[in-house]
Amino acid sequence: MVRVGLNAERLAQAGAELADEVGFEQVTVSALARRFDVKVASLYSHVRNSHDLKTRIALLALRELADRAADVLAGRAGKDALTALANVYRDYAREHPGRYAAAQFRLDPEAAAASDGARHAQMTRAVLRGYDLTEPDQTHAVRLLGSVFHGYVSLEMGGGFSHSAPDSDVTWTRTLDALDALLRNWPAPEA
């Protein structure tokens, strides 16, 4: 009975790796126990249940994403910052599809509050400092950017844009052009 040295953090880390390999949906307490060559029940000393495990993986992914975003935003502004932030999401999803799916996991209010969700909003807001938007338009724009980033990446990952021309990379570039143009020329509310 050699101890493997499990703890919640290592489980979340390993769960994230497992998610990238087999998909977040397939991450299971059993599968994780197998990976550590340990009996299933042993994991329940470290995570409350399956939902708790998934929540921890989601929090890990959100933190990693926020860290990457903070990294690339340093020293950038305007369209440069917009593009960098957008690519953080897209690249992360490509490198870590399971983790990206985890980041979409519906968190209950307390987990959401303890998550890096607010950091993400804050960083999008930082990008918008490069554009001339007044509150509450800035909030609208934060939500729009979040929608486009998330929507585009998840449709692209789902294969929505494969098998049709033009290449998705081109659309991505043009989408960022379009968003930049839109933010520079944000319309007033219509009648």
- Token representation of residue 87: 């690519």
Give the total of residues touching DNA (CB under 7 A): 23
| CB 37, min distance to DNA, A | 7
Give the x/- contact pattern for DNA in 44-73, rule: CB under 7 A: xxx-xxxx----------------------
38 binds, among its own copies, DNA, none (CB under 5 to 8 A by kind): DNA
| CB 36, min distance to DNA, A | 8
Cα–Cα nearest to 99, from 123, 52, 65, 149 = 65
| CB 15, min distance to DNA, A | 11
Nearest to its own copies of 45, 164 (CB atom): 164
Binding to DNA, residues 18-47 (CB under 7 A): 28-31, 38-42, 44-46
End-to-end CA distance of the chain: 73
Nearest to its own copies of 68, 150 (CB atom): 150
Using alpha carbons, list the distances in angstroms from residue 123 to 72, 115, 167: 11, 14, 29
The yes or no reply on residue 106 touching DNA (CB under 7 A) is no
* Structural contact between residues 102 and 24, judged by C-beta atoms closer than 8 angstroms: yes
| DSSP letter, residue 56 | H
CA–CA dist 16, 34 (Å, integer): 15
4 binds, among DNA, its own copies, none (CB under 5 to 8 A by kind): DNA
178 binds, among its own copies, DNA, none (CB under 5 to 8 A by kind): its own copies
Amino acid letter, 62: L
- Tokens 């397939």 label which residue? 26
| DSSP letter, residue 159 | T
Note the residues at the interface with DNA (CB under 7 A): 1-7, 28-31, 38-42, 44-46, 48-51
